[in-house]
Amino acid sequence: MNNKKFSRRLILGLILVFFYFPILYMLVFSFNGSRSLTSFDGFSLQWYEKMFSDRNMMEAIYYTLITAVIATFISTIVGTITAIGLSKSKRIVREVVQQINDLPIMNPEIVTAVGLMLFYVSMHMEKGFLTMLLAHIAFCTPYVILSVMPKLRSLDPNLAEAAMDLGATPAKAMWKVIVPQIMPGIVSGALIAFTMSFDDFIISYFVTGNGVKNISTLVWTMSKRINPSINSLSTLIVIMITITLLFVNLVPMVKEKRQKQGRPISNKVFGIIAVCFTLVIGSVLVALKGGVGSSSPEDAIAKYGSDTLKVYNWGEYLDPEVNAAFEKKFGVKIVYDTFDSNELMYTKLQSGESYDVLVPSDYMIERLIQEKQLQPLDKSMIPNLSNLAKGVKGLQYDPDNTYSAPYFWGTVGIVYNKQKVHKTDLEKEGFNIFHNTKYKGHIYMYDSERDSFMMALKALGYSMNTSDKKELKDAYDWLVKAVDIMDPEIVTDEVIDAMINGNKDMALVYSGDAAYILSENEDMDYYMPKEGTNLWSDAMVIPKNAKNPKLANEYINFLLDYEASMKNTLFVGYASSNEEVLDEASSEGGEFDGNHAYLPRVGYAKDEIFEYNADVKKIISDYWTKVKIAK
Amino acid sequence: MKTFKRLTIPYIVWMVAMIVIPMLLIVLYAFTKQGNDVVSLQFTFDNFKKFFTDPDFLKTLWLSLRISLITTVLCVCIGYPVAYAIAQASPKKRNLLILLVTLPMWINMLVRTYAWIGILADNGLINHILAFFGLEPTKLLYTDFAVVLGMVYNFIPFMILQIESSLAKMDKSLLEAANDLGANRFQRFKNITFPLSLPGVVSGITLVFLPSVSSFVIPKLMGGGGYMMIGNVIENQFISVGEWNFGSAISMIMAVIIMISMYITRRLDKGDDTVRARKGGNVQ
């Protein structure tokens, strides 16, 4: 018998360790003194400080809570009323409604999400808080109905009638007779609704936009770079959820105990607890709201017509202080959204979002100009255009900088570990080193169709702007072979932390990320292959449908200024478009003195700038999906 | 009782708008060519042809089925003994254990999965421990193993709770009777306990299989950017490629596959606890 007991304990112990170890791990590392997720370097509260001072995180908490509260409230009421109605309806109506009601529960969430997204787009609804809230109500209500229905089924159907025979109005009969009987179902429905909404990622991810993020979608965008603030945020969530659950589970226990002892808790006590709970959530919301928008907008509205500026930029591409300085100087609020590929940005634009300032790359700007989606810059408002560095001024996609003001620029090259990779191999093979099985299992490829095809085409000696079908097929085969024989990992921005940690020996990266990697890890160096590479630039543009073009011009001018440019280049590590900043940062004593990755290679004949070609784009994006699948 | 019946009307309208129309839109997009102008609808089967004639896309489908099947089997094998152990405990302990199993489910899936990254990374905790004992570091993150682990971690509570509740419902006097009739422990388990817990196992299987086959979050976090399950292909088509028609077609294919597997398990199951149990139906 003892033996049996022991094995039972062992099993339970193991599973609980499995469940709670990662959560505990996260909790511990939220107090870590360094960025690392693997070695603990002393106790510190810095990540909590970072979290509370990070406006994006505070906004995300605010939106998550307010959505969950409203969605729970509405779906509980609607769900309960509907369930009561259904219980009195004809069988056929009830069956049909229940079947449809089950759809969002049985369907994979991604299908529901995609459907809602298509729905909003067809209705020309701008994605944002409202679309997210409606979606949450839509997927929460079925759960409420589902948890209330069984309670109604076990209820005597004649109760309401009896009440009404005795003179109660239907409303009174429902409120005084039916609702109290099904209360447990309503409460558990509300609880499910709240956590469904609070935890939701997939649906929110597809239906939100315009800078509105909940906690999950924020974590998703942040999870590519190691960011211990995520751990602090998670710890906070774990604590909140634990308290709520304990509360919900303990109250009935205490109630029962008290009742057994003959000292039942009056409903008043519960009322008081409920009021306190609401007050706490309410005050948290008010506090967050206060932090979310707190500038004096009147002047800005008078001058620019609006006090908000919507910016869509690459992730980790701007020093937050720069935005804060702009907001302070102009008394406006910046809604700052980020993307991690040009294609993602473009798709988002097509799904009906509007921004005031975008920061796409060269070929994407060419495409947007061709499709007449941009408006010309107001050069009278941007005197700082004269600060532009020579190498990045008037490039072929926009020869007079009519539409675009360059922001950062650079090359694409190979970051390698000097201890592990021989420079002679690189010099001899160039990009073909990605076919050298000596380094099998030790390389990262970048999840970008453009740059992967650039690498393949250059390795084969073709132009990276080729539209020759055979050359593109060759490049595809080259990539499939690389994936096949080298076993690379295909990553995006997580490559930065991974290379700093020295996880692998070689990676294809953008020069600016390389500059950052080199400055953090001395073993790493940067190589630009002799076959030529992609000389890229990202520039600020104003879309046609911008709501606040005047302020957008002001913002562009502000970012091109010495001070903002310096801050950004130091923060991000990419080559500035401001000549003075570029010189100062790369000259002796500058931050990037001796860093091979910082200064772009200018004037090398084999380097090219991407051009836009719709047919080629389609071919390579199909090919690239297939390369990734082939892995 | 007319007054009460009318209460359903607002929700029916809402349901048509927010549930039925979106589903129809997916079907519409799946069968049409580029562009969502109602004026210039062009019907086509190309989107489906593209999926079914391309071995690469079929490969993602196969990968999704394979990974979720492994996940489901593991969840049954690990979940059953755990559920059995919980059901054997005293009522007080039982409630506590169930709360402990439920608790992680209420924490955001993304957050829970993110926690594993630091543990599995190339220079993460496990590899540090291996190195400490002088063992070769192994690649754990961005492998099938990591994806399966992430899925089991996220979905096994469903399985445990389902099996546990069907074990708890079981009439204990049956076991006593069998005991009196001379059945040994193994016989009692094989002939009574296991068959009676089967409905729980079946609905647990649905609850695990369903979210794993359509997941795109776990494969992306634990499998890396190159790990393409069918959910990732859909996400990719909608978010970065912008081919909504093709994306809709794949969503439809996935929904149909899931409907079929639901139908099969329902036939096996007969009970319809499944729906209610999905996520947190066990609150009370």
On whether residue A193 sits in a domain, the answer given is yes
Cα distance between residue A367 and residue A336, in whole Å? 23
Among B2, B13, B15, most A C-beta atoms within 10 A, so best to mutate, is: B15
Cα distance between residue B10 and residue A137, in whole Å? 14
Question: Average per-residue pLDDT in chain A?
Answer: 86
Q: Would you call B107 and A184 a contact, using CB atoms and an 8 Å cutoff?
A: no
pLDDT band for position B32 (cuts 50, 70, 90): confident
On whether residue A461 sits in a domain, the answer given is yes
Res B272: pLDDT = 47
Please state at what angle helix A55-87 crosses helix A46-53, rounded to 10 degrees: 70
- Between A35 and B230, the higher pLDDT residue: B230
Cα distance between residue A444 and residue A495, in whole Å? 7
How far is A65 from chain B, CA to nearest CA, in Å?
A: 14
* Among A127, A174, A129, A169, residue whose Cα is nearest residue A155: A174
- Strand partners of residue B43: B32
Q: Which two tokens stand for residue A504?
A: 């692998």
Choose the closest CB to A341 out of B78, B238, B240: B240
> Are A530 and A544 within one domain?
no
Residues of A in contact with B137 (CB under 8 A): none
B274-278: list long-range contacts, CB under 8 Å, 24+ apart: B274/B203, B274/B206, B274/B207, B275/A102, B275/A105, B275/A106, B275/A146, B276/A146, B276/A147, B276/A150, B277/B158, B277/B161, B277/B162, B277/B203, B277/B207, B278/A105, B278/B158, B278/B207, B278/B210
Chain B from 18 to 57: CB within 8 A of any A CB: 18-23, 25-26, 29, 36, 54, 56-57
Nearest residue of B to residue A238, measured between CA atoms: B107
Q: Would you call B254 and A219 a contact, using CB atoms and an 8 Å cutoff?
A: no
Q: Would you call A26 and B283 a contact, using CB atoms and an 8 Å cutoff?
A: no
Q: Would you call A223 and B221 a contact, using CB atoms and an 8 Å cutoff?
A: yes
Kindly state the average pLDDT of the residues A22-30: 88
Pairing of strands A333-339, A506-510: unpaired
Q: pLDDT of B163-188, one tens digit each?
A: 998 888 887 788 888 888 888 888 88
DSSP string, A150-213: HHHHTS-TTHHHHHHHTT--HHHIIIIIIHHHTHHHHHHHHHHHHHHHHH--HHHHHH--TT--
Choose the closest CB to B216 out of A8, A26, A110: A110
Cα distance between residue A619 and residue A474, in whole Å? 13
Q: Give Cα separations from A522 to A412, A446, A493, A515 (angstroms).
A: 20, 22, 20, 11
Given a cut of 80, whether residue A213 has pLDDT beyond it is: yes
Cα distance between residue B140 and residue A4, in whole Å? 34
> Are A97 and A212 within one domain?
yes
Instruction: List CB contacts of B82: < 8 A, sequence separation 6 or more.
Output: A11, A12, A15, B101, B160
Residues of B in contact with A628 (CB under 8 A): 225-226, 228
Given a cut of 90, whether residue B1 has pLDDT beyond it is: no
Given a cut of 80, whether residue A279 has pLDDT beyond it is: no
Report the first-to-last Cα separation within chain A, whole angstroms: 51
Helices (H) and strands (E) in chain B, counts: 16, 0
Q: How far is CA A534 from the centre of its chain?
A: 27
How far is A409 from chain B, CA to nearest CA, in Å?
A: 23
Does B130 reach chain A within 8 Å, measured CB to CB? no
**CATH number assigned to the domain comprising residue A323:** 3.40.190.10
How far is A357 from chain B, CA to nearest CA, in Å?
A: 20
Interface contacts (A, B; CB < 8 Å): 299
DSSP code of A295?
S
Q: Would you call B242 and A38 a contact, using CB atoms and an 8 Å cutoff?
A: no
Q: pLDDT of A503-539, one tens digit each?
A: 889 999 999 899 988 988 889 999 999 999 999 999 9
On whether residue A162 sits in a domain, the answer given is yes
How far is B183 from chain A, CA to nearest CA, in Å?
A: 18
* Among A93, A79, A205, A122, residue whose Cα is nearest residue B24: A122
CB A30 within 8 A of CB A231: yes
- Between A5 and A533, the higher pLDDT residue: A533
On whether residue A48 sits in a domain, the answer given is no
Instruction: List CB contacts of B2: < 8 A, sequence separation 6 or more.
Output: none
> Are A174 and A316 within one domain?
no
Residues in chain A: 631
Decide which of A224, A256, A275 is a domain's last residue: A224
Q: Which two tokens stand for residue A303?
A: 């001058």
Provide the percentage of residues in chain A whose pLDDT is more than 70.
94
Residues of B in contact with A147 (CB under 8 A): 276, 281, 283
Question: Average per-residue pLDDT in chain B?
Answer: 83
Q: pLDDT of B62-105, one tens digit each?
A: 999 999 999 999 999 999 999 999 988 888 888 889 888 888 88
Res B280: pLDDT = 42
pLDDT band for position B274 (cuts 50, 70, 90): very low
Q: Would you call A344 and B239 a contact, using CB atoms and an 8 Å cutoff?
A: yes
Q: Which domain holds residue A443?
A: 412-534+606-630
> Are A485 and A544 within one domain?
no
**CATH number assigned to the domain comprising residue A125:** 1.10.3720.10
> Are A505 and A365 within one domain?
no
Classify the phi-psi angles of B207: left when phi > 0, otherwise alpha if psi is within -120 to 50, otherwise beta.
Answer: alpha
**Ranges A60-64, A178-182, A411-415: which has the least confidence:** A178-182
Q: pLDDT of A224-235, one tens digit each?
A: 666 778 888 888
Pairing of strands A524-527, A412-417: antiparallel
Give the count of domains, chain A.
3
Handedness of CA A141, A143, A146, A147 (dihedral sign): negative
pTM higher than 0.90 = no
Residues of A in contact with B221 (CB under 8 A): 223
Q: What are phi and psi of A127, to 5 degrees?
A: -65, 140
Given a cut of 50, whether residue A178 has pLDDT beyond it is: yes
Q: Which of the listed ranges A203-217, A419-433, B101-115 does the model predict with the highest average pLDDT?
A: A419-433
How far is A192 from chain B, CA to nearest CA, in Å?
A: 6
Q: pLDDT of A126-141, one tens digit each?
A: 888 999 999 999 999 9
Res A409: pLDDT = 93
Cα distance between residue A350 and residue A337, in whole Å? 16
- Strand partners of residue A338: A313
The 3-state DSSP class for residue B43 equals strand
Q: Would you call B18 and A150 a contact, using CB atoms and an 8 Å cutoff?
A: no
* Among A144, A135, A115, residue whose Cα is nearest residue B14: A135
Residue whose structure tokens are 């729906």: B275
> Are A501 and A445 within one domain?
yes
Q: Give Cα separations from A477 to A474, A624, B75 (angstroms).
A: 5, 11, 39
Q: Is A121 exposed, middle or buried (0-12, 13-18, 19+ CB in 10 A)?
A: middle
DSSP code of B140?
-
* Among A108, A105, A103, A102, residue whose Cα is nearest residue B255: A108
Decide which of A189, A224, A259 is a domain's last residue: A224
Set out the domains of chain B in order of their start, with CATH numbers.
55-277 (1.10.3720.10)
> Are A220 and A114 within one domain?
yes
Res B21: pLDDT = 92
Residues of A in contact with B111 (CB under 8 A): 26, 216, 219, 230, 233-234, 237-238
Complex ipTM: 0.86
On whether residue A249 sits in a domain, the answer given is no
Chain B from 144 to 183: CB within 8 A of any A CB: 153, 157, 160
Q: Would you call B238 and A38 a contact, using CB atoms and an 8 Å cutoff?
A: no
On whether residue A233 sits in a domain, the answer given is no
- Strand partners of residue A527: A414
Q: How far is CA A513 from the centre of its chain?
A: 19
Given a cut of 50, whether residue A416 has pLDDT beyond it is: yes
Given a cut of 90, whether residue A27 has pLDDT beyond it is: no
Decide which of A207, A224, A241 is a domain's last residue: A224
Q: Give Cα separations from B150 to A291, B122, B140 (angstroms).
A: 36, 16, 12
Chain B from 187 to 246: CB within 8 A of any A CB: 210-211, 213-214, 216-217, 221, 224-228, 231, 233-236, 238-242, 244
> Are A172 and A129 within one domain?
yes
Instruction: List CB contacts of A116: < 8 A, sequence separation 6 or more.
Output: A131, A135, A138, A203, A206, A207, B18, B22
Helix, strand, coil share of chain A (percent; to 5): 60, 10, 30
Kindly state the average pLDDT of the residues A312-327: 89
Angle at A525 between CA A523 and CA A530, to 5 degrees: 155
On whether residue A229 sits in a domain, the answer given is no
Kindly state the average pLDDT of the residues A603-618: 87
Nearest residue of A to residue B157, measured between CA atoms: A19
How far is A154 from chain B, CA to nearest CA, in Å?
A: 16
On whether residue A272 sits in a domain, the answer given is no
Q: pLDDT of A82-134, one tens digit each?
A: 988 888 888 888 888 888 888 888 888 899 999 999 999 888 888 889 999 99
Instruction: List CB contacts of B152: < 8 A, sequence separation 6 or more.
Output: B71, B74, B75, B78
> Are A615 and A626 within one domain?
yes
Cα distance between residue A346 and residue A524, in whole Å? 34
> Are A315 and A462 within one domain?
no
How far is B178 from chain A, CA to nearest CA, in Å?
A: 19
Instruction: List CB contacts of A219: < 8 A, sequence separation 6 or more.
Output: A230, A233, A234, B108, B110, B111, B114
CB B71 within 8 A of CB A160: no
> Are A425 and A500 within one domain?
yes
Q: Is A18 exposed, middle or buried (0-12, 13-18, 19+ CB in 10 A)?
A: middle
> Are A126 and A161 within one domain?
yes
- Helices within A371-445 (DSSP H only): 423-429
pLDDT band for position A292 (cuts 50, 70, 90): low
pLDDT band for position B196 (cuts 50, 70, 90): confident
